[in-house]
Amino acid sequence: MIRYKLTSMKITNNIDKFGTAGLFLTALFSPCCFPLFAFAASTLGLAGFELFGSWTMWIFQALVLISIFGFYISYRRHRYLYPLMMAILSGFLIFYAYYFNKSDYWTYFLYVGMFGILIATVWNYKRNKATGTCSTCTIYNGQSVETKSTLTCPICRYKKTEFMPTDACVYIYECEKCKALLKPIQGNCCVYCSYGTVKCPSVQLGKNCC
């Protein structure tokens, strides 16, 4: 269960990068739809190749939306608006080029939008790093908190990494090795605050646990 939650969080934290990588790979392997990438495709022997056939542009547009959704999730963590705004504007340029611009230069808008999303992805990644966003962090009461803590049994010194809940406090914990029932030390609110490498989410935010 813990491994599933951590994997799910890692996927959530990388949605924007997945969408951006996907739309560029789609463009690279669909040179007929994206002439700018035709040279790179031809060097790979894919000059006449279409990755998704008639579905190429639909898949491309879906990846743009997935990428923007990823930026929104990141914004909820670090509250830094500019990468999200840049991604939305870039996405608008892509859809404008495809649906509304009937000139011979519509592809310019498409490419500007693509590279705008790429720049926003790099910007967002650096912002996440600067704010300490991690693969095991989550949003709790509007702020980012660490949810993984390694408990050390005071009796047998056995260590076990656990996923801390944000909606409850753990008052009793059974050691996996010696079966001792651990309880919080006086003055602490839960077993994580007493025996863990990371305090519980409430205490991380300077609040009382539960």
Segment 57-68, tens digit of pLDDT: 888 899 999 999
Task: State the chain's mean pLDDT as an integer.
Answer: 81
Tokens for 134?
Answer: 């991690």
Q: Give the pLDDT band of residue 119 (cuts 50, 70, 90).
A: very high
Mean local confidence (pLDDT), 146-158: 93
Distance between CA 10 and CA 136 in Å, rounded? Answer: 7
Burial of 67 (0-12, 13-18, 19+ CB in 10 A): buried
Q: What is the pLDDT of residues 34-91, one digit of tens each?
A: 766 665 555 655 555 556 677 888 888 999 999 999 888 888 767 788 999 999 999 9
Alpha helices in the chain (DSSP H): 2-13, 15-28, 38-43, 56-78, 82-99, 106-130, 191-195, 201-204
Q: Give the pLDDT band of residue 115 (cuts 50, 70, 90).
A: very high
| 17 or 68, which is more confident | 68
| 52 or 133, which is more confident | 52
Of the candidates 35, 58, 164, which has an alpha carbon nearest to the alpha carbon of residue 107?
Answer: 35
Domain limits of the chain? 2-130, 137-204
181: pLDDT strictly greater than 80? yes
User: Is 117 in a helix, a strand, or coil?
Assistant: helix
Percent above pLDDT 90 for the chain: 37
25: pLDDT strictly greater than 50? yes
Q: Give the pLDDT band of residue 6 (cuts 50, 70, 90).
A: very low
Distance between CA 210 and CA 207 in Å, rounded? Answer: 9
